[in-house]
Amino acid sequence: MPIQPGDPYLLHLDVGAMILMRARYSLSPLSAALPVAMLLSVCPTDRPAQAVYRVLLSRPQLQAVRLVVEPQSGPQPPCGGEPIPSYPRLEDVATVKSWTRSDFGSDWIPPACTGWVAVGFTTLVTTVARFRYAAEVEGLLRHLGAITELAGMRYWSTTHKRWQTLIVDAYAVTDVQGAQRRADFTSDEMNKGSVLYFEQVDNLSGKAMYRMHIAEASADRLVVDVENVSTMRYLFLPVFHPGDMQSIYFFDRESDGVWRFYSIVRVGQNANRLIAGNEASAVNRAVAFYRYLVGIPTDQEPPGAP
């Protein structure tokens, strides 16, 4: 049956990323109610499940299908209620969703447990997964504190259509002034309430100072938020002001050897849109950090968004 403008459909790309899409015209009430059986699949199925990412893109011409016509409440991290998006099963792929302001308004208010006070966003990406991890929370803290290991992280460039180095260099510093490099942070330094600083050089905006805050740290739960504290520039032009780049990571132990992962990566609405509005690039950067944090090679095929 041919696809008509406005008909929702499911497209499996040959790289294995799964993207929920709709045609560039708006959904009519009738087409919005079409049954799932109308979805079209055009993807090979011989790829390993753990290498595939379920990506929900939602540009004006590439929006997530809504089979139920209800306003979305936006991302809800695991803070006492059911998270949105929900966790996939352990054997399923990670769910990576890029949100737009048309999903729930231009002045999105972050959930209180993020600690973020600024409203709205330019880009907003959530990554949700379950993963196997045999060590205790101290192992996660050591991994997060090993700032120098961020150097060399790779991601898929949608502009150049190839894997590229995302983080060129990274190192811990003694304070917010960044006057002195220091050794990586140890798990003993990363207690609840700790505030640590590091510098990171990425392939786009160069060197910037970041603040890492340990919001929660217990045997079964770890919450860490990160934001830039210096202005980030591209070709000498300011593109991200302090606090424009924010991310928060929730790790919750589900059982012995199994953890749940939930992250939100947000670019503030005052960021330069010439560099901050690339939705596919934001997805691939979020996927790179997710892979790094849970121990998956960051340049493993397929990319999150080709």
Residue 65's closest CA among 36, 45, 105, 93?
Answer: 36
8-294 CATH, one of 3.20.20.10, 3.30.565.10, 3.30.530.20, 3.40.50.2000: 3.30.530.20
Give the pLDDT confidence score for residue 18 in this predicted structure.
32
Phi and psi at 112, nearest 5°, equal -60, -35
pTM of the predicted model, to two decimals? Answer: 0.77
Q: What is the pLDDT of residue 275?
A: 64
pLDDT in single tens digits along all 306 residues of the chain: 443 443 333 333 333 333 333 223 333 333 333 333 332 233 333 333 333 344 554 433 233 222 222 345 789 999 999 999 999 999 998 999 999 888 877 789 999 999 999 999 989 999 999 999 999 999 999 999 999 999 999 999 998 999 999 999 999 999 988 779 999 999 999 999 999 999 999 987 788 999 999 999 999 999 999 999 998 877 777 778 899 999 999 999 999 999 999 999 999 888 776 665 678 889 999 999 999 999 999 999 999 888
- Per DSSP (E only), the strands in the chain are 8-12, 18-22, 53-56, 94-99, 123-132, 154-157, 162-165, 167-173, 181-182, 195-202, 206-217, 221-228, 232-234, 237-240, 245-255, 258-267
Question: What is the token pair recorded at 294?
Answer: 């849970």
Q: Residue ranges of the domains in the chain?
A: 8-294
